[in-house]
Structure 1
């Protein structure tokens, strides 16, 4: 009888399992990730009930649990969790006598080093809100950034003192503390001499913190003007700390962070991820491709964090004796991903997506190459979002005659938006109400609803994978069609003589929209092969997406987080009198790229040569 029941159940289950494997092959992995995320959130709620509700609280928890565990390894220094706790107390006590207090805003301009973390945690113990300043900032932008976030105190590392124009800051009553043992000149306040005379005891006392209030200011890249100070709340910060844990890392891992600490990826996901796990962080002052794998071997690194094009530089600098098993980050292009995975077969890649301004984020927890995450039923329960159809002229969400937005179809790119809720708030940009309001879309599906506009174009395929397509502003329109710069870049990099490509659109007199142009770096020892490139474009891209102009460079301009910079390239266009780089023009009749001289340029801009 039991045998009959068992075989009957099995016979009923087998077709269901077969159906699931064919039509829902990722069901179990989706469910597993969903349950893992639920468990994290439950543990987070349990800790909050115990009074552990902030980034700082999580650090103090680890410092009490594992005081002697190595926390930061930097060059020849090793600081335990207790060492960082005690030194941050000294910073807090020094600032307390300044006097700084809860609610004060302090700008921080420092390189990657242990004292960046100690200063940050020390100020957090006072209840101050810290504004991370980009170390590549120019002097003229520094005052704008400080004013926009409302800081009245600046802590600056000695390396960046040259950017500080003291009279401008003094006019606004801004105190400048230099991370040095003695005053560098009149008007500056030395910090380290005071810190070293302070007690290591925490004299700040417990703080009452609203988890929905602001914790940090992190500045956007400012590609369209001055950087914007994005408010990052306590809730966002503590949720970000789960990144490495969700990727599968543990407290036994040694995590290598080369990204700048003023960037959310390094400070919240990176350092925060180490704190969440109770793991060890190997901190690098600056990324070095030639030193990367040597450091991984030297410090027994097991997990590395990447962003943007960083992995491209690592493919050609290898070390077989490393112990790295996980590379986690965001912004990894498919062509680089494939090359990296082929070269380092033992390293698992976990690609994610996130934003500084909001809590929307994804993680590709599968081994599928290319996606940034999944849009499964379970994931949309945890992270609600929508992809909206958009107007191809204005890049604004398309609205019907009734005024409502429309969801993008499967396979089509759409604007990623997320509902603004208690768990996904948007605190806005400090000192920039107009830009803050522009990020919100109202009455999307029903009257009164509010969504955060990421400004990113994503695509969901028929298997529920999500792919990053482009950022609004990078996509350009030519011949009535939208061109994805990312897609064209990937196509170009399939050719063996092209190492890197940065695609953008440039204006041509007499034409609407922008025509495609690409700044490319050739592989060492290789030359541009125009006919081969032309044949490749014919096979892979529609004619409207072809780059009509090429600019040969020895290296591409990238941001400190390895994102390609396009602004200057767009401004310079294809004028051979502006740049010393070799420029080429696509001659359809010859099926080749020809060297672009002044005479040819004049023929193009005066309409003698048609595009």
Structure 2
């Protein structure tokens, strides 16, 4: 199954066309490569050391923009060092953990930098967490100091976490007060930190269970600086990179922050994403680049056209999840010249970056990866009679595995058992080790690939694998659809799972079942067209805009669902209101016609 708007392959001509633009950025690329890829895991280099060097070279240039604040690199480094002195006085040092539970603000960035300058680990907590989920996250961190917004104190104290974990709780206002008069000198120990040491704990979204804390080392962060900042975004010191994603998200903490630091550019922070205010903020900060996730692009396209659509200076954007179906429309409407789409995972050890500005690709991966056959039921790689894995053909969706070695280590989670579950051993020969991304990708040639689906979201129907991302793109092509999410549901007596979509209609739209079915059949093979449609007033999202499918999948089309449900009667009739006999008719092959 393939979305007709997808790119099937990348050729030498595609790359050659983009080489002039790539080579013109040679100085920026070289700086990123030296900083990001020039050090081994045992080298004495770190995030804090790189920040100090950039601050020294760009003292009077603006580093952070937030609301009406403008903070230079020199001012930022002085504040970071004061915060580091406060942390050190509280016993924070190499290997300690500092919990950071702050909304987007300069303090969130500065405190993170202060923490890693101390040789400690910044535990970036999703400030939307409450109750047992928050208690679980705090338990994983075991932080010596926990810095929060003052209005987060109550949720922290009441979440049920061990009292020992909340002993070091202080507000960001208290941190500022305690920092007054502290030393502005760089901490002596910063220059001794090794690249292989831990820098951050980033929490997974926890949509299918309690969050896990993934480990980010200085080494991997610096490689991200070289890959995303040096090869991908390629900013210069006069640029401003706008980011409204939360700083507990790696797109903000790693991709945005490292890219700005690589160039000595400014990082403009939005408090949060707003589709109606997005371009106003971009213009206000004089931004020339921004960070996205695919859902943001969809929301922006759904906004009515307005003068600010092109009244900005943005020339390059970086992120993941810009769907091929809307790629051209998005870049054309908003005048975006370069898209640095990428693929990476917080806990992973590899990444793809669209270095050559080729449309509809996650880009190039220089490290060893393979695409293999998989077992949809277990979510594991499929092994042949000889016990080894089998690679898929180019263009076919395969489970992405990345080689684990000294230059491409797997840092995993704080939970060693959870880390081991992500590893595939003896895949192609005795003793080899690969990281299982859990993602399906299609090789496009010349080391490029396209994202296909999360393996946990893909389902099987009529003997065929159905990628939810492609079904969502097809239904989203119908202009009555504001947003949709697709998942598989069981039909009694049938093998596999049938497609079901929860659809949020655009404001003022009336559901047209015939038209939606037509959109499905125009873009998809018949087996992939969803049998069930649930019309919801609004789709629930994680704090990073991902659709939450778990509850929707569990509810299916059961009686407990009070939203309107429609079923696919056939190609001509389209979707009609649900009736109790429909599942049996599907089992008997009578529907859809």
- Calculate the TM-score normalised by the size of structure 1: 0.87
1:302 corresponds in structure 2 to: 288
87, 92, 105: which is aligned to 1:95?
A: 87
- Does residue 546 of structure 2 align to residue 554 of structure 1? no
**Are 1:479 and 2:462 matched, yes or no?**
yes
The Cα of 1:52 is off from its aligned counterpart by: 6.6
Q: Is the 8 A contact 2:63 2:265 kept in 1?
A: yes
Q: Which moved more, 1:154-163 or 1:600-609?
A: 600-609
Q: What's the offset of the Cα at 1:347?
A: 3.5
User: Alpha-carbon deviation of 1:362?
Assistant: 1.0
Deviates further, 329-338 or 531-540: 531-540
**1:383 counterpart residue number:** 367
Summarize the alignment of residues 80-479 of structure 1 with structure 2, pairs less than 5 Å apart. 80-165=72-157, 168-181=160-173, 190-202=174-186, 204-242=188-226, 243-246=228-231, 247-315=233-301, 316=303, 318=306, 319=308, 320-374=310-364, 382-430=366-414, 432-461=415-444, 465-479=448-462
Taking the aligned partners of 2:42 and 2:437, their CA distance within structure 1 comes to: 34
Moved more, 157-166 or 105-114: 157-166
Secondary structure of the equivalent of 2:277? Answer: helix
Q: Is the 8 A contact 2:287 2:313 kept in 1?
A: yes
**Which has more radius of gyration?**
1
Answer yes or no: is the 8 Å Cα contact 1:105–1:131 preserved in 2. yes
Aligned CA distance change for structure 1 residues 283 and 589 (closer, same or farther; 3 Å): closer
Other structure's SS at 1:357 match: coil
Distance 1:41 1:590 in 2: 57
- Please say if residues 491 and 583 of structure 2, whose CA atoms lie closer than 8 Å, have aligned partners that are also in contact: no
Deviation digits for residues 363-383 of structure 1 (CA, Å, limit 9, x no counterpart): 223444321114xxxx5xx32
Deviation at 1:526, TM superposition (A): 2.8
SS of the equivalent of 2:112 reads helix
TM-score relative to the length of structure 2: 0.89
Shift of 1:550: 0.6
Contact 1:309 1:333 in 2 (8 A): no
Contact in 2 for aligned 1:497/1:523 (Cα 8 Å): yes
Question: Equivalent residue for 2:50?
Answer: 58
Output the CA distance in 1 between the equivalents of 2:82 and 2:118. 11
SS at match of 1:371: coil
Report the CA distance shift for 1:448/1:589 in structure 2 as closer, same or farther (over 3 A).
Answer: closer
Q: Answer yes or no: is 1:579 the counterpart of 2:561.
A: yes
CA RMSD of aligned residues (A): 2.9
Question: Structure 1 residues 81, 157: closer, same or farther in 2, change over 3 A?
Answer: same
Provide the C-alpha distance between the structure 1 equivalents of 2:189 and 2:118, rounded to a whole number of angstroms: 8
Residue 257 of structure 2 aligns to a residue whose secondary structure is: helix
Which deviations, in whole Å up to 9, do the C-alpha atoms of 1:491-520 show, x marking residues without a partner? 112223223221111123333322110111
Counterpart residue number, 1:17: none
The 5 Å alignment of 1:42-81 reads 42=34, 44=36, 53-81=45-73
Aligned match for 1:25, one of 9, 13, 21: 13
Following TM superposition, by how much is the alpha carbon of 1:23 offset from its aligned partner in structure 2, in angstroms?
A: 6.9
The gaps in structure 2 that reach 5 residues or longer are 1-9
Shift of residue 330, structure 1, vs aligned partner:
0.8
Deviates more, 1:39-48 or 1:193-202: 39-48
Matched, 1:568 2:551: yes
SS of the residue corresponding to residue 107 of structure 1 reads strand
Q: Please list the CA deviations of residues 281-336 of structure 1 after superposition, one character each: whole Å capped at 9, or x if unmatched.
A: 11111111111111122221111110121011222264032111111111111223
Q: CA deviation at 1:135?
A: 1.6
* Equivalent position of 2:4 in the other structure: none
1:203, distance to aligned residue in structure 2 (A): 5.1
* C-alpha distance in 1 between matches for 2:544 and 2:467: 21
**Cα distance change, pair 92–253 in 1 and its aligned pair in 2 (3 A):** same
For structure 1, the residue ranges without an aligned partner over 5 or more in a row are 1-21, 182-189
1:543 corresponds to 2:548: no
> Does the C-alpha gap of structure 1 residues 224 and 131 become closer, same or farther in structure 2, counting only changes over 3 Å?
same
Q: Number of residue pairs matched?
A: 573
Q: Paired residue for 1:528, among 492, 511, 523?
A: 511
1: distance between equivalents of 2:475 and 2:160? Answer: 47
